[in-house]
A and B are shown apart, each in its own frame.
Chain A
Amino acid sequence: MNTLNATKISFNKSKKTSPLSITLEDGSVVKDVHCVRLFPLSEPDTFISVVRREDGHLREIGIIRKLKELTSEQQRLVRQDIKLRYFVPEIKDINKITARHGLYEWDVVTGRGNKNFSLRSIRENIAVNDKGMIIITDLERCRYKITDCERLPVKARTELDQVLL
């Protein structure tokens, strides 16, 4: 495993719309890189792989073990890149879940704004893993997650309890 020394690398972003570039330990610069989570669900902030797409394939430049080891400014850049790459909003609160016309209509607050979406079936579209993390896939194949039910407000938990199997 090619680990990157978090203190000896630095990320740069030339413009708002441009991808990241990375300066490695030996001073070489790699342009147009992005960050891939190796454990996007179970441990999103550790083991971040820095990759570059070349000829349609991903080439790994190296792995950052812990995001926290980067300086706060560097962390901000990487987190921003990751935020754009992973669009699986975390549900923070549930206003209402209504069962209507054989669909479940959800009105939720996510980390990325408010959203209404619909599900066809609780059984097929909601997956709960052993650690209690919930992944929801809506009618349009968009995904949402709830990392820890216990952290939801009480009312949201009651709403969830009405439908969760």
Chain B
Amino acid sequence: MEREKLPQDIKKKLETDFPDEQMLIILSSDITHEGVYGIEWLVVTDKRVLVFSEKSNNVSALFSTKLESIEQIDLVNLVGSGMVQVKTAEGTHRVITYSDAKNPDFGQAVDDIKDILKGKSIENKARTKPRKICENCLLPIPREMNKCPRCTDKRKTLLSILSFSRPYVKLLGWMLLGMIASTCCGLITPYMSKLFIDQILKPSPVTGMFQYAKWLPVAASVLLISYAGQLFFAGIQERLGGKLGFRTTHDVRSAIYNKLQDLSLSFFDKHQTGALLSRVNQDTGELQRLLVDFIPLTLESAFMLLGVGIILFMLSWQLTLFVFIPIVATIVFIKTIFSKIRTYFHRFFHRRSKLSALVNDSLSGMRVIKAFGQERVEMSKFGRKSSDYRNAGIDLTTKWSVYHPILHFFIMSGVVIVWFIGGRFVISGKMSLGSVVAYSGYLMMFYRPVFILTRMIDLVTNALSAAERVFDIIDTEPDIKEAADAVDIGDIKGEIEFQDVTFGYNKFDPVIKDLSVKIAANEKIGLVGKSGAGKSTIINLMCRLYDVNKGRILIDGVDLRNIKYADLRRQIGIVLQETFLFNGTIYDNIAYARPNAAREEVISAAIAANAHEFIIEKLDGYDTEVGERGDRLSGGEKQRIAIARAILRDPRILVLDEATSSVDTETEKKIQEALATLTSGRTTIAIAHRLSTLRNCDRLLVIEDGRVVESGTHAELIAKEGAFYKLVTMQKELSEIIAING
């Protein structure tokens, strides 16, 4: 039960007015009765329901009614908000309003109030999780997330990523060694120029002779070797780093994909496919960039920065102090500019993808465009999007053309300082010419890591948030879990029983209400009713794609939730209304039901489903590619493939979601024959539309508003002239109209 903390004055008022009442529910809303942001309080005691406004000076209830005078209490879903509506003898009252963010909390509260009204104790199982507020930052945590995204320790995320790298520790070690070796080689080269200028190429002031001339080839070789070494070790590091990064990302990507396959269907109802797609592709891609590019680069830069920094100080600490001025300026510049320029980059790419989406859309809809003569409209739409893209491109290059030279100016001014200040040091004899040359060489090496590290802070933060989103999915627990003591029910008879089943996709909006029905083994049941009555939901529950909210479903007397998942699936075969064919051959699509089936079995199933006859007409026979990029099959052909799939599966219980799409009489006959073969000797539940199917059913259940309102054979129900009769006559009239007009 939700019990938030009431403000003092309201609490006092309640205690004085109703001293012996026990407060059961205390819940705050976030919209006032005037429809603006503000807080109001819903208080339910064991005697009454009250609503208080937080603002009013003298505390008095906005609404108050005794529990016994409530006739009905409901949640009304509005647009972006919702309200609790109470019906009493006086009429309807809209009691309290809240935004969508608080919808589940009020849904639960209304459920609880209903229980209180019935005199029942409040249900403490299967409750909605209350809206979570982060203890640290006091801001709400999004419902689909387990932890506050603002306060999640980025180090922890980094650790979880690194835990995926654990199998590759050896690789990591070698990579770091390669990195150190390459950096060391890189550090030698500028120092060699100092040796060249100060020693080897400097004639002796006394004799004018090059006394170290014989060292020239040696020094040149050292230079060559250090260059080669730098490249060699960098190559090794890159190679190992790539291996490490790609392997780790592969592991993460597989983990997230496997998790998605494990999650219940309800998870996919809550998340948009697009968002999930971007998690799997983009976010893991971001993670990959983090592992393959960012982390090695950061390590390398840090190492370089340290090494070069030390050498700069050793060469001349005074000069280094001067040089720091432009370096600090560079850092500040990068920090402020790049957050801005990033938006321009994103905008550029975003608009490009929007443009290509438009082209994709209009090219696939070309028939409609031509049929309605809307070519001009499409052209102007394209023109607008394309010019948006053009403008984004121009903006980007304009900004970049300003920032880029400024950045380089800062870098170059460092070099100027070296020659000016360093030059004075040379003149005054504080520094050798070679040291200044070496110094400017090191300085150029210093800028790169400075540049990279400044950028990395942003890039790594972003990549880590992407990684967090990935781990969010990996850490999600599926709603439907296999019970620890789940059993294998082996070969079943196929008896099904629904006992007082209540279910809604949104818990507070039940689609199936107290449904009880018993189906004998091998019985053929037809579900009949208007669309939205709950027929498909019954089937979804039967397959345990969702778990019931109340009641239970039994198969051969065993609760669905106690049967092993794989075992349950083995017993049930489904032929769906919209046959989904995967990209692959006809053979693959039929064999999907049982991948290890022999070719003979697949062909027999296709023959039994009357699919064989059209398959042999295809040029590539069973090897014909279907699905998105393959041959397009007609509706009737697809249905027969689905039936073949189910025949191959050979389930005890068969679920049919009959297609409403009309096919010609010949095809219809073929499908009916195939269905007759399929359903014989199995318990069948069919969502039936076709009269022929209805006649063949042993019993019809007429579903209305989540309940069974009639049941009996086709003839019985027609004779009864009830709900079913009405449905049939309506359909008949409709088909007669079609027949006349057609």
Contacts and interface: CB of A to CB of B under 8 A. Distances in A.
Contacts of A27: none
Contacts of B373: none
Nearest to A99: B339
Sort chain A's interface into a size bin. Answer: 35 or more
A139 B150 contact: no
A140 B142 contact: yes
A102 B469 CA distance: 10
A165 interface: yes
Nearest to A17: B93
A83 to B, nearest CB: 4
Interface in A116-165: 116, 118, 120, 122-124, 130, 139-143, 162-165
B468 interface: yes
B326 interface: no
| Interface of B (DSSP majority class) | mixed
B35 A84 contact: yes
Interface string B330-362: 000000000110010011001100000000000
Nearest to A84: B35
Contacts of A115: 37
B140 A139 contact: yes
Contacts of B34: 83
B461 A101 contact: yes
B79 A88 contact: yes
Interface in B71-126: 78-81, 83, 91-95, 97, 99-101
A112 B38 CA distance: 9
B234 interface: no
B92 A102 contact: no
Which residue among A32, A40, A123, A163 has the maximum number of chain B CB atoms within 10 Å of its CB? A123
A83 B35 contact: yes
A86 B79 contact: yes
Nearest to B340: A162
Contacts of B637: none
A113 B131 CA distance: 22
B91 A101 contact: no
Contact of A88 (B36, B80, B275, B384): B80
A87 interface: yes
B63 A17 contact: yes
A19 B94 contact: yes
A69 B308 CA distance: 78
Contact of B38 (A85, A103, A113): A113
Interface in B241-292: 274-275, 278
Nearest to B705: A56
B150 A100 contact: yes
B343 A84 contact: no
A139 B78 contact: no
A113 B99 CA distance: 13
Nearest to A19: B92
B142 A112 contact: no
B97 A84 contact: yes
Interface of A: 14-19, 31-32, 40, 55-56, 80, 83-89, 99-103, 110, 112-116, 118, 120, 122-124, 130, 139-143, 162-165
A124 B149 CA distance: 17
Contacts of B350: 123, 165
A143 B99 CA distance: 10
Given A103-B150, A113-B37, A140-B140, A124 B275 contact: yes
B187 interface: no
Given A14-B91, A85-B79, A165-B350, A118 B339 contact: no
Contact of B143 (A16, A118, A140, A164): A140
Given A101-B149, A113-B37, A163-B343, A140 B100 contact: yes
B242 to A, nearest CB: 26
A115 B99 CA distance: 12
A87 B81 contact: yes
Contacts of B351: 165
Contacts of B97: 84, 87
3 residue pairs, one from A and one from B, having the closest CB atoms: A102-B465, A113-B37, A87-B81
Given A84-B78, A102-B464, 16 more contacts: A19-B94, A31-B92, A80-B35, A84-B97, A85-B79, A85-B81, A87-B97, A87-B100, A103-B149, A112-B36, A113-B38, A124-B278, A141-B100, A142-B101, A163-B343, A164-B347
A139 B81 contact: no
Interface residues of B, number: 51
29 contacts: A14-B91, A15-B93, A16-B33, A18-B91, A18-B92, A19-B92, A83-B34, A83-B35, A84-B33, A84-B35, A84-B94, A85-B81, A86-B78, A86-B80, A87-B35, A87-B80, A87-B81, A87-B100, A88-B79, A102-B149, A102-B462, A118-B150, A122-B346, A123-B350, A130-B384, A140-B142, A164-B347, A165-B343, A165-B351
A123 B63 CA distance: 43
A104 B274 CA distance: 20
A14 B93 CA distance: 10
Nearest to B141: A139
Nearest to B86: A17
A114 B37 contact: yes
B466 interface: yes
A142 B99 contact: yes
B31 interface: yes
B219 to A, nearest CB: 51
B139 interface: yes
A120 to B, nearest CB: 8
A112 B35 contact: yes
A141 B101 contact: yes
A51 to B, nearest CB: 12
A31 B91 contact: yes
Nearest to A100: B150
Contacts of B36: 112-113
Contacts of A130: 381, 384
Given A18-B91, A103-B149, A118 B79 contact: no
Which residue among A83, A87, A103 has the maximum number of chain B CB atoms within 10 Å of its CB? A87
A52 B209 CA distance: 108
A139 B350 CA distance: 21
A103 B469 CA distance: 12
Contacts of B81: 84-85, 87
B485 to A, nearest CB: 37
B95 to A, nearest CB: 6
A94 to B, nearest CB: 15
Nearest to B38: A113
Contacts of B83: 84
Contacts of B140: 139-140
Contacts of B37: 89, 110, 112-115
A49 to B, nearest CB: 13
B60 to A, nearest CB: 13
A164 B711 CA distance: 58
A142 B78 contact: no
Interface string B27-71: 000010111111000000000000000000000001100000000
Which residue among B139, B339, B351 has the maximum number of chain A CB atoms within 10 Å of its CB? B139
Contacts of B152: 101
A112 B34 CA distance: 9
Which residue among B62, B79, B131 has the maximum number of chain A CB atoms within 10 Å of its CB? B79
Contacts of B705: 55-56
A38 B389 CA distance: 33
B79 A18 contact: no
Given A19-B92, A32-B92, A84-B35, A102 B466 contact: yes
Interface in B474-507: none
Contacts of A89: 37
A99 B83 CA distance: 33
A161 B92 CA distance: 46
A19 B35 CA distance: 14
A140 B80 CA distance: 11
Nearest to A140: B101
Which residue among B31, B91, B346 has the maximum number of chain A CB atoms within 10 Å of its CB? B91
A163 to B, nearest CB: 6
